[in-house]
Amino acid sequence: MIKATYKKYTLNFKNPSGTSRGILRTKETWFIILNKDDKIGIGETGLFRGLSIDDVKNYEEKLKWVCHHMHLGLEKLLLEMTQFPSIQFGLEQAFLSLNSKTSYHLFPSEFTQGKSSIPINGLVWMGDKAFMKAQIKEKLKAGFTCIKMKIGAIDFSTEIDLLKSIRKEFSSKEIELRVDANGAFHPNEALEKLEILSKLDLHSIEQPIKQGQIEEMANLCAKTPLSIALDEELIGVFSSKDKERVIKTIKPQYIILKPSLIGGFVGSKEWIKLAEQNNCGWWITSALESNIGLNAIAQFTFTLKSNLPQGLGTGSLFTNNFKSPLTVKNGTLQYSLNKNWNFNLHI
């Protein structure tokens, strides 16, 4: 018999982090904790306020319901939680964790054995020019060969100047540059801005216009001189039929998969299958989870054998994250066998 509980936990940012949606100072998250005999399973339901489709008033009620209905089993619970993708993700992790040897090795591989690593992009947060430039220098010094810069919150010409300054020092062969607009561009101006950005030899731009404008996004993807990656566009698309419609209508160059926001591993695999059937690239991105969720996403990502840099966070943004073996070295995420887990919710 599985006993289930849930706990809320607030992650505190070391530095306020800027996005086009505003400044983030804290990140609320939840954990599903399973107990069976002497085993424990942990799963993070990475709710993202203002972005997750399941950011609703009865969220905690749903967590409570799930904990009271463990007898249904994982498959049925996932179906019941179709409209709560972050809870689906937490459930998948918790059951994998419960059935693993150590609670933390959800997908045993060369990654968890410390023999192999995952190339990741270095993330540059929004802020004034000096702050962003300092972050870029820091990422380059840390050995990153792929940098993702959030744009759309400060003056566009200032952002272009920043990107130009990187390109003056580093060619696209040395540093791959990705930008993320988080839907900041207006459809009427987007193509013109993409033309300007394309001259800087960028890899791609994430979500140039707000999600839900499918015809406008399809038009952009057809005309763009710069590869477009869908991100928020995948949130809240539940059925296989609707997922297929998004991919076939928009025809994006890439899609970006955030397991917390699109239904965990099962949801991610469904999107990947559709992408590959429609000549569309993809990569996985974390969404400000703690090291518990990040660990699950990283281990899952490694099994997919992608050769693109992934958008996996480093766990270093928060003052009160959980100690873990996840380590960033030379622009890669690694699982260090010299470090131990310390999952303590101060219960």
Q: Which of 184, 260, 235, 183 is nearest to 28 (CA)?
A: 260
Is 101 designated active site?
no
| CA triple 317-318-324, angle to 5 deg | 95
Whether 10 and 28 have beta carbons less than 8 Å apart is answered as: yes
Q: Spell out the residues 6+ positions from residue 227 whose beta carbon is closer than 8 angstroms to its own.
A: 203, 204, 205, 253, 254
Based on its alpha-carbon atoms, the radius of gyration of the chain, rounded to whole angstroms, reads 20
Catalytic residue among 258, 269, 273, 339: 258
| CA triple 260-293-5, angle to 5 deg | 90
Is 258 designated active site?
yes
Catalytic residue among 150, 223, 243, 248: 150
CA distances from 220 to 204, 208, 228, 283 (A): 13, 9, 8, 20
Whether 305 and 277 have beta carbons less than 8 Å apart is answered as: no
43 has which bridge partners? Answer: 32
- Which residues belong to the active site? 150, 258
